[in-house]
Amino acid sequence: MRVRHAIAVVPLLLFAARESRAEYIVMRSGQRLAVSAYQVLGDKYKVQIAGGWAEIPTEEVVSIEPEEVFTPLPKSQQPEVKPPYRELVEAAAARFQVDADLIWSVIAVESNFDPKAVSRKNARGLMQLLPETAAHLGVQNIFDPKENIEAGTRYLHDLLLKYNGDLALALAAYNAGPDKVQQYGRVPPIAETVSYVRQVKQKYEKSKTSPAAQMMAMPGGATAATQSAPGPPVTPAPLQRTTQAQ
């Protein structure tokens, strides 16, 4: 559902870190971001961090240091570095009772965290909403990260309810549309959809098996984000380890 946009910059200043080391973006706030690559795009740095790409205004960057210059702080003193748009994702997760890690996994596959992404089918933004779907959900600016994430999460919530928590069917409907799922009664045998369901489930499963996720897990399998607001929670059915879309 997405198409990467080639960024035309002449000249493009691309500074990739060496294979054997990372570099650190030092922020005015004192935070240090470990990056594996970065680009200078006008008045912003586009940096590659764990979880995808993020943009940082150049005025917020104090310096860029090679890995060997930086002496890591003890873990207890290290600031938490969240993936791109994590705060918006957690807010939408709490509002619509959808697991934040699932939303993040969908965004990663849909747009790779590019808020301006447009697919060949005209799906737009972080969660790749079609204009008609966005309009139905009351979105005013489809490229606004907050609106896009909230609308995409609401749609995902509705699909999970529709398919009784069946994650594969909900994701298939998100990608190919509910009509296709109804037509086949299962994940449609469409190569793009089968691949999409597999990729999102793999990312979601990986997020749930990480030590950090296990520490944050609460009774019943819900996260803190999904328990912070009233309303009917939507918990996807337990993930199955598989290489085939279900």
- List the catalytic residues: 110
* Cβ 118 vs Cβ 128: under 8 Å: no
Tell me the DSSP string of the chain.
---PPP---SS-EEEEPPTT--EEEEETTS-EEEESEEEEETTEEEEEETTEEEEEEGGGEEEEEEGGG--PPPGGGSPP-PPTTHHHHHHHHHHHT--HHHHHHHHHHHTTT-TT-B-TT--BTTTTB-HHHHHHTT-S-TT-HHHHHHHHHHHHHHHHHHTTT-HHHHHHHHHH-HHHHHHHTSS-S-HHHHHHHHHHHHHHHHHHHSHHHHHH--GGG--HHHHSS-S----PPPP---SS--
- CA 67 to chain centroid, in Å, comes to 27
